[in-house]
Structure 1
Amino acid sequence: MKPLLQICTMKSFAFIITATLLTASTCTRQQIEAGFAQTMIGRWEFKSSMGGYAGKRIEAETGKKLVLEFKPNQEFQKTLNDSVTEKGTYELVKVKSIYTGKTDNAIRFNAATAAAPESSRLDKIIALKGDSLSISDNFYDGFQSVYTRLK
């Protein structure tokens, strides 16, 4: 009977260790995401897009100021020369990236504007480097758009 007790004790110990490690890694991941979400809140001006089958590059047009704003309550708004063109909610998610093959930060837009293109509702890979924000389609021949933070 003693070996059975030892086996049960070892299983309980293994379960406790596993549960503790999972809890610790989950807490760390949530803290990183909260910091990431906080960092992206603000107004971002469109600078360029690049992609497509031919690698087309689209620069911001002179006289057209396209701004993407992220609000703390997980709402976003796009404006063109201060006129709202699209608005809705967003959520930050983790998805497998076609670029790295690993799990990356992504954004999912849920546009409330009927005119919003269907492609805006897909998960997009999102990255922050200083005052630069990139949002990339997570499919082949997609586009990557680059924004800079407005101060």
Structure 2
Amino acid sequence: MKNLLYIVAFALISCASSQIQNINNSDFVGIWNWTSTDGGFGNHIHKTPETLGKKVQLSLQKNDQFSIIENGKEVSKGTYTLTMKKAIYSNTQERYIQLSNDEHYDGIVLSGIIRLVKPATLEISDNNYDGLGSSFVKVN
């Protein structure tokens, strides 16, 4: 009986692990130029490449690798993980991206609910009430 419980537990864990690994990322694989970050309490935060004085590119690869390029120089790279998480605004399960080094990049949201809002526009929201969200446009 004890062995049967171990087998069932292993099967459940295996299924859960494979579901996490099978989250589709093909719609946001590519190079993305950061265009803006908005939000905060009362929507008072508005940052752009012009206001921060930097051009930032986020590269997301199909093999779960990422890199961040600022003003033409690579400043960070690593892996990202996709999971499903309840989004506070839609109240549904949505894809959540987490960078391997828990990247906190000044003025830009890089971990959170990730979604394509138009064919070439990506948004990452920190999934907090009065939180921040960053927008990106696809380069290629």
Q: TM-score range with shorter-chain normalisation?
A: 0.7 to 0.9
The aligned counterpart of 1:12 is none
Where in structure 2 are the equivalents of 1:58-69 lying within 5 Å? 58-61=47-50, 64-69=54-59
- Percent identity between the two aligned chains: 31
The aligned counterpart of 1:117 is 104
TM-score by length of 1: 0.67
Match of 2:74 among 67, 71, 84: 84
The separation in 2 between residues aligned to 1:110 and 1:59, in whole angstroms, is 25
The aligned counterpart of 2:46 is 57
The aligned counterpart of 1:142 is 131
- Note the residue ranges of structure 2 that are not aligned, 5 or more in a row: 1-14
The separation in 1 between residues aligned to 2:71 and 2:115, in whole angstroms, is 25
**CA deviation after TM superposition for structure 1 residue 132, in Å:** 0.3
TM-score by length of 2: 0.72
**CA deviation after TM superposition for structure 1 residue 118, in Å:** 8.9
The answer to whether 1:104 aligns with 2:98 is no
The separation in 2 between residues aligned to 1:79 and 1:108, in whole angstroms, is 18
Equivalent residue letter for 1:101: N
**CA deviation after TM superposition for structure 1 residue 72, in Å:** 2.0
The aligned counterpart of 1:15 is none
**CA deviation after TM superposition for structure 1 residue 117, in Å:** 2.7
Q: Are 1:66 and 1:80, in contact at CA under 8 Å, matched by a contact in 2?
A: yes
Equivalent residue letter for 1:64: K
Q: Are 2:39 and 2:133, in contact at CA under 8 Å, matched by a contact in 1?
A: yes
